[in-house]
Structure formats: C-alpha cells, structure tokens
Amino acid sequence: MSMKPIWIVDDDQSIRFVLEKALQREGLPCRSFTHPREVLKALEAGEGSEGPQVLVSDIRMPGGSGLDLLSSVKERLPGLPVIIMTAFSDLDSAVSAFSSGAFEYLPKPFDLPKAIELIRRAVDESLREEVAEEQTDEAPEMLGQAPAMQDVFRAIGRLAQSHVTVLITGESGSGKELVARALHKHSPRASGPFVAINTAAIPKDLLESELFGHERGAFTGAQTSRRGRFEQADGGTLFLDEIGDMPFDLQTRLLRVLSDGHFYRVGGHSAVKANVRVIAATHQDLEQRVKEGGFREDLFHRLNVIRLRLPALRERREDVPMLTRHFLQRSAQQLGVEPKRITESAMAQLGQFQFPGNVRQLENICHWLTVMAPAQVIEVKDLPPEVQLPPAVAEAGSAEGVGAEPSPVRVPAPPATSWTPLPASGGLPAPLPLSASPGVLPMGGWEGALESEALQLLGEGRTDVWDVLTRKFESRLILAALSTTRGRRIEAAQKLGIGRNTITRKIQELGIDD
C-alpha cells in the first residue's frame, strides 16, 4: 500500500527542518506548510489525491490556530490522525486538542526520537483505518445461474435500495460477505465505507474496543484514542460476520446502538452518533441459540428483519463449472501464469464433490490446481485427493451439521517427492494449496513432510538446511495470510500476529511477489 506524505504545519522554520530531515531518514515522505491557510488550500485543491497520511500541526501560528485547522480537517477527513504540537506550559490547549479529536499532542521542546515514534504510531493507525475502509470496487462479483442463486440476486435487488437490517444465513464459505458487499454496492450508501468485522475472529476482551473504539488510557496499552468500526462505517455499511458468537454483554450494547443510533467509546463519557446500516451474518441456528440462552431474543428480532438464506454449493451444482472457470482465471492472474483448462471428465468429477467448505473450498481447489497440476489441461488424475475419493468418504466431513468445518480426510501417503522439493538454487517454490478444508498431506501431517524434506536435504550434505526450510516455511505462511486478505499486507500481518514492518521486510527478503 503506497503511503501518502506526512504534512507538517509550523511557522517556525527550524522545527519544520528538523522534522523533515528526521522523517526522510526514516523513509517517510513529508511536506511542509508555514500556516493553516496553505493546508486548507492544498486540501481544497485535492492535492496528493486524498491529502495527508498524518497531519502534524503547531497550535499557535500567525496564520491561524492549530485547533481551528484541526476541526476543519476533521470535517473533511474524519479518520486522519492529527498530532498537535504545543508549548509544554499550555495545558488548556492540549485538553481542547483532545476534545476536538486530536490523535495525540507533542509538547515542545520535544525529543526527536519520541516525536518520530509518535508519528509512526499515527501512520499505523491511519493505515488501519484504510484497511477497514477499503472501497468495495475490488470485491469480486457474485456468480451463479442456479435458481437458488437467482433468488438471492432478486432479493439483493429488492433490498439494496432500503436501509433495513438484513441477516444473511448460510454455511461457512458460502459467500455471505460477498452478499453483504453487493447489498452495500447497490445501495444509496454505496459511496460510504463498507466495513467488515468477523466477531468470532477477535478475542472477546478486544471486541468491544474494536467495535466501539476507546479513549486514551481506557485500559492498559491504550496509549491513544481510537475510532471503532462503527465510527469508521459512518454513512456506510457495517458487516458483522458470525454474529452468533458475539458475547452476551456486547449483544446488549449492540442492541442499544441499533435502537437509538448512539454509543460510547470504551472509557468515553460523550455519546457518539452512528449513521450505519448493519448487515449481520451467521452459520449458526440463531433461534436455537436464543432457546439455549446464548443469544438475546430482542437482538435476534431486531437483526432478523429480513432474512436471506444463501444456498450451499452442493445445492447449486450447476454453478460449479462457471465458478471453476472464473477461479482458475483469477488464480492464473494472481500468479501471472496462463489460465489452465479442465477436461469434461475432470469437471464432472468436481461436480460430484460435496464441497463441505462451499465456494471458498472450490476457490482454494482452483488455486491448488493452478499451482500443482502438471499440464496445461487438468485431467481427473490431477484433481486433489479429497475430490477423487468415493463420495461416502468425502461426505464424512459434511455430515457434522450446517457450517461445521469438515474433519480431515486422510489418504495413503503420496510419494515423498510430492512435497515440491526446493530447486538446488534454494529459490522459493510455488505457493502451497490454500485449502479451506484441511488439506490432504502425507501421513504424519505437515510436520512429517517437513521432516522427510529435511532428511532429504541433510542427506545431500547441504549446510544451509535451516535457512532453506525457514525461508520456505515463512514464505508459505505469508502467502497463505495474503491470500485470505486479498493481498492486503497490514491485515495479513495482524492475522499472523506480526508487525507491519516485519511483514514488509520478510516480503522483500523472501522475494515474495504479492
């Protein structure tokens, strides 16, 4: 993701000079202004297309006050972090800077490394906002000619123009987020942000601040205040995936926002207004969750205004050929190779498969085939082992109830060489299959495969085995994460639990072309 410049506003030339030089050393682009009027003029002219990544402004300048600048900038760019520089003695102005929405203030005279660290934190925060607010242009269109899918399209057409809350139900991998994106894209809110959050993927104790934001100092580690997903989605759509997993006390808070459109940040005392359309999704039976006392009945009724059920892929087998061609085309594009074709017999075999992981599983199989099928035309023998199994065995995974993740299906171990040994140069192999259902590996799982690979390399008398296999392991992890975030690095780093700088460095070191 290319970074926009950091804008510095100060009438003191020496401060501008020092900050500019320090930011250049850090490789951060920057641009300087001597008073607020220049900044507003640059914003109006739409320079740098969307303006700055972070704004650092003095509080008292001959050309106007930093606080006035802060409020005009916040109107235009609510997600932009603004750092206010202020003389240490001037506490009142610091307090008013916070209440006007500053990200942080920097007392003068400042310690340069601290100032740069603060600017870096602000950059991270603004990049987090961008990940959350990525527009929906890149969302793949939904495909399907099966009658069950045509019903879904008709429903999207009818619902798109309304602001009503929609509950999407369907098994894991059936494309619930695509439906939510389509509802947003064809709605009056299409120009606003589409923000998605998977409530099951975020630890319970972090979910509240993720949804509603937090004030500085609200809990240990809250060094700065942060907007939550509701604020980010203002004027647009908030998609709450796996709503059935939301903790009970948060369900109460969500109900309150849905009823009166107001909420409080964690540790906050003033109400924030949210003009947001909520679309929720679940693979669980919510009525059953209500009966068991795990889901609030009143929240269920509030979300369940319109229910849209997504069919499982096995209920619309006629769409498999079209989807397969689409995904083979897309994988080839991502990997920069010629798209593979598939024989009729292989397509027929694929059409027989139960797809416990639904459309996502088909997409992963196509990615696997693009990487692993030896020839340009895919034959039955090239299909992954789970697709070649007799239906009775393959279905074992899908008989565990709606949305259950399939259990791993084991097959006899293929020859040891099928784990794509490294070329002698130590270059990187093509990405591994990224299967939503557990992939089929040699007996002993991937650790066994790793061990046999290590033994093979050690047997060749090589002395770089550690490096070779670590590179291989790290690159697979990063590629897998990037494939789940459609190439968004910051989100991939968050999912892997590593820093943004780490993933960027690794991508360069490993020569990964994402």
| 328 band by pLDDT with thresholds 50, 70 and 90 | very high
Angle at 198 between CA 400 and CA 277, to 5 degrees: 120
Q: Region 134-147: what's the mean pLDDT?
A: 58
Alpha-helical segments (H) within 261-357: 286-291, 297-303, 320-335, 344-352
| Section 187-211 average pLDDT | 86
3-state secondary structure at position 355: coil
| 65 touches 45 (CB < 8 A) | no
The chain-wide mean pLDDT, for the chain, equals 78
Residue type, 501: N
Instruction: State which amino acid sits at residue 274.
Output: A
Residue with tokens 């930093």: 66
Return the half-sphere exposure (C-beta side, CA atoms, 13 A cut-off) of residue 499: 6
Whether 87 contacts 112, CB under 8 Å: no
Residue 230 has pLDDT above 80, yes or no: yes
DSSP one-letter code for 1:
-
- pLDDT mean over 431-450: 49
Q: What is the pLDDT of residue 445?
A: 60
Q: What is the pLDDT of residues 289-306, one digit of tens each?
A: 999 999 999 999 988 888
| Alpha carbons 477 and 493: distance in angstroms, whole number | 10
Say if residue 125's pLDDT is above 60. Answer: yes
pLDDT band at 443 (very low <50, low <70, confident <90, very high): very low
DSSP state of 456: H
> Which of 110-119, 392-401, 445-454 is least confident?
392-401
What value does the mean pLDDT take over residues 359-387?
Answer: 91
